[in-house]
Amino acid sequence: MERPPLSDVSERPLTRIAQVSDPHLGADVDQPRQAAALAALESLATALPTLDLDAVIVSGDVIIDDPDDQRDHKFAHNVLARLDLPVWIVPGNHDVGDHRVRAGLPPDWHGAEVTSVRVRAWHALWGRSYWRHDVPGWRLYGLNSQVMGSGLAEEADQWSWLHLELGELLESHPSTLVAVFMHEGVIAPRMTPPRDAWMNVPTDSGSALLEMLGRVDLRLIASGHTHRHASEETMGIWHVTAPSITGPIPLRPDMLQAIGHREPGVLVYTFAPGGFTFEFMTTEQHGPQRRFYC
Ligand SMILES: [Fe+2]
Ligand SMILES: [Fe+2]
Backbone phi and psi for residue 92, each to the nearest 5 degrees, phi listed first = -115, -175
Predicted pLDDT of residue 284? 66
Residue 294 has pLDDT above 60, yes or no: no
Give distance in angstroms: CA of 63 to centre of ligand 2: 10
| Range of weakest confidence among 108-117, 239-248, 278-287 | 278-287
How does residue 283 score in pLDDT terms, banded at 50, 70 and 90?
Answer: confident
Residue 218 phi/psi, 5° resolution? -75, 130
Round to whole Å and give the CA distance between 120 and 154. 9
| Ligand (nearest to CA of 243) | 1
33-50 confidence digits (pLDDT tens): 999 999 999 999 988 888
Query: What is the distance in A from the centroid of ligand 2 to the CA of 61?
Result: 5
How many angstroms is it from 277 CA to the middle of ligand 1?
Answer: 24
Q: Helices marked H in the chain — which ranges? A: 6-9, 32-51, 70-81, 93-96, 116-126, 153-172, 203-213
Half-sphere exposure for 215 (CA within 13 Å, toward CB): 14
Which is nearest to 17 in space by CA: 143, 130, 133, 123?
Answer: 133
Distance, in Å, from the CA atom of 34 to the CA atom of 53, rounded to the nearest integer, reads 26
**Closest ligand to Cα 198:** 2
Q: Above 50 in pLDDT, residue 268?
A: yes
Q: What is the pLDDT of residue 253?
A: 94
Give the tens place of pLDDT for each residue, 212-266: 999 999 999 999 999 999 999 999 999 999 999 999 999 999 999 999 999 999 9
DSSP state of 175: T
CA dihedral of residues 33, 34, 40, 44 (deg, nearest 10): 160
Q: What are phi and psi of 18, to 5 degrees?
A: -90, 130
Q: Residue 5: is its pLDDT beyond 60?
A: no
DSSP single-letter state for residue 65: S
**C-alpha 10 to ligand 2 mean position (Å):** 35
pLDDT tens-place string over residues 173-189: 999 999 999 999 999 99
Q: Which ligand is nearest to the CA of 99?
A: 2
pTM of the complete model: 0.93
- For residue 104, the CA-to-ligand 2 centroid distance in Å is 14
pLDDT, the chain, mean: 92
Residue type, 145: S
Spacing, Cα 83 to ligand 1 middle (Å): 20
In order, the DSSP letters of 230-255 are EEEEETTEEEEEPPBSS-PPPP-TTS
